[in-house]
Amino acid sequence: MLFDTTHIAIDELKAAESRERNIGLMVARLDKIHPVVSGNKLFKLHYFLEEALLHNKPVVTFGGAYSNHLAATAYACREAGLPCTGIVRGEAPARLSPTLQGCIQDGMKLIFISREEYGRMSANMNGSADSYREAIEVNSLIIPEGGYHPLGARGASLITDLTAKAGADYIITAVGTATTLAGILLKASPHQQVIAIPVLKNFTDIHERLLYLNGQMDYKNLHIWNEYHFGGYAKKTPELIQFMNELYSQFGLPTDFVYTAKMLFAVMDKIKNNYFPPGCRILCLHTGGLQGNQSLPGGSLIF
Ligand SMILES: *Cc1c(COP(=O)(O)O)cnc(C)c1O
């Protein structure tokens, strides 16, 4: 690992709703590992970076203008001394997002391509470098968008090892590409229930994704909660923003509006509705992503 991950903080969230029900509500603070390469992204990158370093290959990856994955890759490559290129969805804007500015500062070369072309590329992302040949060096190591690849899942599985000390009955994560979820499922024990909260609307292919990532799709301990996407990817409501501010003022816990806020909102909602049995221990993964809050209008958040 490029960063110290041996002491992941596991904070207890002392919410009235969980305490009343004698539920241990814990948050694994992967966000604290590093402000940019935070959370799950570092883990998903782990084996890719190892491979790139071993064979001294430049790295190429993909993402949108606010992508946590691009930000993490840029920073991690800088730390590892690897050249890297980010292929960005959409034409270059007049003013770059704070995320992309950070990527450039970290030495990432950016190539902007149209949404149509990007769509074609990402559809073929697991293939050889052929489809990106014009944009990148032949010898590059290609990391699919969001680390969506069996190697990414293997990296994410390290999260389960490093948080095993929490003794959780439930492990809960937000889902984007499902790579982190796949990693958790690789190492969770059969009696641990794994709860997935998609942050996209109409996200119906989680099982197919798991089959690609892990070679297995029927996990008896997997539960998917599809009703907490708040309108879709990166969509938000005033209620969600208010919830984030409450989490911060009550517990000092910062969240991001795309992933972790929706996940924790879902968990609190299910606790209130007595989904969880009294006495159980819940481990929520704070998968990071705080840099993405820079896309919110100024003053939305109190942190
Ligand atoms: C990318 C991301 C996720 C989703 O992870 P997947 O492995 O793509 O499902 C969750 N939380 C945060 C903060 C992220 O940046």
Per-residue pLDDT, 134: 58
CA of 272 to the centre of ligand 1 (A): 25
- Alpha carbon of 20 to ligand 1 centroid (Å): 31
- For residue 146 and ligand 1, the question of a CB distance below 6 A is answered with yes
- CA-nearest residue for atom 2, ligand 1, is 176
Express each pLDDT in 268-285 by its tens digit: 999 999 999 999 999 999
Residue 76 has pLDDT above 80, yes or no: yes
Minimum CA distance residue for ligand 1 atom 13: 289
Distance 280 CA to ligand 1 centre (A): 25
User: Ligand 1 within 6 A of 288 CB?
Assistant: yes
Place of tokens 């481990």: 283
Distances in Å between the Cα of 258 and the Cα atoms of 184, 228, 237, 249, 264 are 20, 11, 11, 19, 11
Rounded CA separation 200/226 (Å): 9
pLDDT confidence band for 124 (50 / 70 / 90):
low
What per-residue confidence (pLDDT) applies to 120?
75
Q: Residues 131-172: pLDDT tens digits?
A: 555 557 778 999 999 999 999 999 999 999 999 999 999 999
Q: Which pair of structure tokens corresponds to residue 186?
A: 């690789």
Distance 194 CA to ligand 1 centre (A): 15
Ligand 1 pocket mutation pick from 214, 259, 263 by most atoms within 8 angstroms of CB = 259
| CB of 256 sitting under 6 A from ligand 1 | yes
Query: What residues pair up with 144 in beta bridges, in sequence order?
Result: none
175 CA to middle of ligand 1, Å? Answer: 6
pLDDT digits (tens, 9 = 90+) for 78-103: 999 999 999 999 989 999 999 999 99
Distance CA 285, CA 174 (A): 8
Sequence-ordered list of residues with C-beta below 8 angstroms from that of 199, at least 6 positions apart, any chain: 174, 175, 176, 228, 229, 230, 233, 258, 259, 262, 263
Q: What is the pTM of this model?
A: 0.95
